[in-house]
Amino acid sequence: MKCLQFWNKFSLCNGEGYGAFSPGSRSLLCSFYVALFCCVASGLFAQNQKISGSWRGELDLGIQKLPLVFHFQAQGDAWEGTLDSPQQNATGIPISEIRFEDPMLFLRIDTIGASYEAILSGEILQGTFKQAGMELPLSFRPQKGEDTQTFKRPQTPQGPFSYDIVHTGFLNQAENILLRGTLTLPTGTGPFPGVILVSGSGPQNRNGEVFSHQPLWVLADYLTRKGIAVLRYDDRGVGESEGVFKQATTRDLMTDAWAALRKLKTIPKVDTLRLGVIGHSEGGLIAWMMAAEQSKDLSFIAALAPPVVPIDELMAQQTYDLVMASGASEELALEQMQTNRKLYQVIKNASDQAEAKAQLTPLLDTLFLSTNPDTSALAAERKRLYEQYAPLTSPWFFHFIKIEPEAFIRTIQIPAWVAFGKKDRQVSAAINRQALEAMDKASFDIHSFENLNHLFQSAPTGAVSEYGEIEETMNEPMLDKLATWIRQQPTNKTRSSP
């Protein structure tokens, strides 16, 4: 089963997941603290049938309410069970341990580092969900009948298709990694303009799946129907692609994108003088970086919700916007933003990961540790805390937080189409567009879309909690403007055809 990680979908570009929340506001924990889901199996001991069947609950993360379903089945004196997250389209995640001694229930799910302890009171399981140092109240009730909840995704492409679909692979020669993806190619003789799609941060497959939406598939389908060849691919270590994702930095992922572009260049019906990159969120940052290298293979870029201001500033603002979107007070939002600024600054100023870890440890103690006189309890609390914030010193985050996008943007000379959603709570449209316009880039076509969120969905408020509730995967008027602009791009006259 494919592993899904909730925080990966929304850390800046999914970066809001890498932040701090004070002990008094754990209900506002950002997505990175809920690394749902993966898989493993087993069974346990119990003595009666009271919990047999399906139980439904809702994990309240403050900025996101996540429906969860437990399925329990007796196997002699043992129990087996699985966990579903319907909103994430993740089902059948085996539970590692189940102990039920009426009325006490204990569950352990090793692959996500989580546990659940509850008391059965009548027909309600009332308990606490624990993971990565956090503790959240969580109650379940019996689910009557089968869970038939489905999420309408009317834009998900359905055949028959009016274009060719080719499953392909290409090699990142610099790192000897074989990447696999899908090419959608218009019918006809061509030549057609061609683009590659670069996803936002976190391990993503070629469709960019999130909450049962498939935005990269929707984008590829729309553009190809408009006469544009599109290559999208699984991130390294995801789906059919080789490699290890967790060790990759943004610059490493850029080398994968270059390999994809070189593959696209070899397709006979693709116009090698009209090759582009479309990147979303961190993918937009990668598009900036690629364009800054001024390779003759690249004719244009499109950056969707790209970071423009320094990454640490962007993520601090992200913290504020997300906490405010959750309905919390401005006082709390400012408090969390300032706390995160301190954490980010430590990582940004460190010369290497070892120094970052050494500097982060005393700061975490100061910010979060209690003065518990029980030495063993304090040690356990410290261990949980350090595990919780370990991603801040990961290879990806250590390099990512230091990036200054302006250094790349100012050197770009090729055309760029840039889009922001005015209700984006992850990459502020107002702040990033203002910074971009201050650079006075004549070759940039900049747009802000009134009611769109970070995923370019029409949204009530732009809160992360709405992503899975919205039927629209990607706003069609935005897609139309992008497709029109790409078709209007002239051939790249800085080089001759190969």
Read off the tokens for 272.
């090698």
Residue 285 lies in a domain: yes
Find the mean pLDDT for residues 18-23: 40
What does each C-alpha distance from 87 to 5, 29, 66, 75, 384 come to in angstroms?
Answer: 13, 19, 7, 29, 28
Q: H helices of 326-374, where? A: 330-349, 353-368
Cβ neighbours of residue 204 under 8 Å, at least 6 residues apart?
Answer: 8, 9, 216, 234, 235, 238
**What confidence score (pLDDT) does residue 26 get?**
30
Longest dimension (CA), the chain: 77
Which tokens sit at 204?
């993503």
CATH number for the domain spanning 65: value is 2.40.128.120
pLDDT band at 263 (very low <50, low <70, confident <90, very high): very high
Instruction: Tell me whether residue 494 is in a domain.
Output: no
Structure tokens at 388: 């919780």
**How far apart (Å, rounded) are the C-alpha atoms in residues 421 and 483?**
17
CATH of the domain at 237: 3.40.50.1820
Question: Considering its fold, how many domains does the chain have in total?
Answer: 2
Q: Are residues 17 and 63 in the same domain?
A: yes
Instruction: Looking at the structure, tell me whether residues 92 and 203 fall in a common domain.
Output: no
Same domain? For 15 and 71 the reply is yes
DSSP conformation letters of 40-55 = ----EEESSSTT-EEE
The 10 Å Cβ neighbour count of residue 362 is 10
**Other C-beta atoms within 10 Å of 493: how many?**
8
Domain membership flag for residue 328 = no
Flag whether pLDDT at 143 surpasses 90: no
Distance CA(386)–CA(379), nearest Å, equals 11
The Cα 397–Cα 395 span in angstroms is 6
What whole-number percentage of the chain has pLDDT above 70? Answer: 84
Tokens encoding 271: 């116009």
Domain identity same for 431 and 296: yes
117 and 206 housed in the same domain: no
pTM, full prediction:
0.79
Of 62-71, 227-236, 403-412, 423-432, minimum mean pLDDT range: 62-71
Digit-coded pLDDT (tens) for 333-369: 999 999 999 999 999 999 999 999 999 988 988 888 7
- Among the candidates 92, 109, 142, a domain finishes at 142
List the domain range (segments joined by +) for residue 254: 163-310+403-488
Task: Determine the Cα–Cα distance for residues 134 and 132; give it in Å rounded to an integer.
Answer: 6
Q: Minimal CA–CA distance to 95: which of 107, 84, 106?
A: 107
Give residue for tokens 């007070």.
329
Mean pLDDT of 174-195: 96
Residue 219 falls within a domain, yes or no?
A: yes
Cis peptide upstream of residue 160 (ω within 30 degrees of 0)? yes
> Cα-Cα-Cα-Cα dihedral of 410, 413, 416, 422, to 10°?
20
**pLDDT tens sequence across 289-334:** 999 998 889 999 999 999 999 999 999 999 999 888 877 889 989 9
Q: Residue 86: which of 148, 163, 169 has the closest Cα? A: 148
Residue 473 lies in a domain: yes
Indicate if 92 and 214 belong to the same structural domain: no
Length of the chain: 498
Residue 205 lies in a domain: yes
Same domain, 77 and 167: no
